[in-house]
Structure 1
Amino acid sequence: MSQKKRVLMICLGNICRSPIAEAVFENEISKRGLKNQWEVESAAIIGYHTGKIPDHRALSTLQENGITNYSHRARQINQNDFNKFDWIFGMDDDNIRDINDIKNLKPMECRAKVELLGSYDPSGEVIIRDPYRDAGSAGFQKAYEQCLRSVTVFLNKYAN
């Protein structure tokens, strides 16, 4: 059996979009029977929320969409991630710029392909907007839907 393919989801604080993306990916590989072939994690650009659980609106959005067994503690991306993962997905252009800045701080081998997760969205919504400052949870539901569409297309393309 070959080594698992690894995916890392990144957003600014690792309590909204990237945990949603991680949970969606985990749920999809479970449904497809691919847990022995794929691994997914999520992390933050900044360490502000390190150790915290996802935003309550992110968790309730996942539960409302049938993902009830997800648990996570925020962590910050580190240099080792660039060689541990095959893909590192940012949620918006700022994430991608920050990921590339971190990657270039210490030139080293980088096997990860850095991409916008939304680049796989068949509806063309490339940017997954940060809903953290929103009053309600509509932005979290929208992020969930974007992640689901993007992850589905990504897995259809790369999962055998």
Structure 2
Amino acid sequence: MISVLFVCLGNICRSPMAEAVFRHQLKEKQLETTIKVDSAGTGDWHLGKVPHEGTRALLDRYGISYEGMRARQVTLEDYTDFDYIVCMDNNNERDVRAIFGSKSDGNTKVFKFMDLLADKKTCDVPDPYYTGNFDEVYELVAAGCVKLLERICEDQLKHSEV
């Protein structure tokens, strides 16, 4: 099974939104049993909490489930448990790489979410906890999740050709 972990700062806004949106997209394509999806934060301020009310309201508007989602913190084990670790901004990526240290098996791919959307002018997914703009984040997340699935499919095709 392929596995994806979305990471942001507190795991209540951006990464749970990406987790819910990606799960929804996978369900629409009947791939929800093929790809495991989770989210985590680099900080510990919101451990055990449900997604932010702004994230929940937006997901409700689009009919996207966030049932059972609770904030958790990135762990060292995540490096071996996930194939793709997708960070919402530069700071998250730096912090994730610091957590993982020199651990590297060549299989886990750690990268920024906005690397999936090279045509956009921003390099980070803005944090709506501070900006309040959950709609902007949703637009980026929805488009990026489509690109992520395309990347996973391409990687799997390359892997099967080897």
**Using the alignment, how far apart are the partners of 2:145 and 2:108 within structure 1?**
17
Q: How big is the alpha-carbon RMSD for the aligned residues of Structure 1 and Structure 2? A: 1.7
Q: 1:84 maps to what in 2?
A: 81
Native 8 Å contact 1:82 1:110 kept in 2: no
Q: Size of the alignment, in residue pairs? A: 153
What TM-score, normalized by structure 2, do the two folds share? 0.87
Compared with structure 1, are the counterparts of its residues 108 and 156 closer, same or farther at alpha carbon in structure 2 (3 Å cutoff)?
A: closer
Native 8 Å contact 2:56 2:66 kept in 1: no
Letter in 1 for 2:55: A
Q: 1:40 maps to what in 2?
A: 37
Structure with a larger share of its residues in helix: 2
Q: 2:119 maps to what in 1?
A: 123
- Contiguous gaps of at least 5 residues in structure 2: 158-162
Compared with structure 1, are the counterparts of its residues 28 and 101 closer, same or farther at alpha carbon in structure 2 (3 Å cutoff)?
A: same
**Using the alignment, how far apart are the partners of 1:89 and 1:158 within structure 2?**
12
- Contiguous gaps of at least 5 residues in structure 1: none
**Using the alignment, how far apart are the partners of 1:20 and 1:30 within structure 2?**
15
- Answering whether residue 93 of structure 2 is matched by residue 96 of structure 1, we say yes
Letter in 2 for 1:24: V
- Answering whether residue 155 of structure 2 is matched by residue 158 of structure 1, we say no
Most deviating of 149-158 and 19-28: 149-158
Q: How far apart are 1:68 and its partner, in Å?
A: 3.8
Query: Matches of residues 6-25 of structure 1 in structure 2 within 5 Å?
Result: 6-25=3-22
Native 8 Å contact 1:122 1:153 kept in 2: no
Deviation digits for residues 39-90 of structure 1 (CA, Å, limit 9, x no counterpart): 1000010111000111100000111122145331100010100000001011
Compared with structure 1, are the counterparts of its residues 149 and 122 closer, same or farther at alpha carbon in structure 2 (3 Å cutoff)?
A: farther
Letter in 2 for 1:155: L
- Answering whether residue 55 of structure 2 is matched by residue 61 of structure 1, we say no
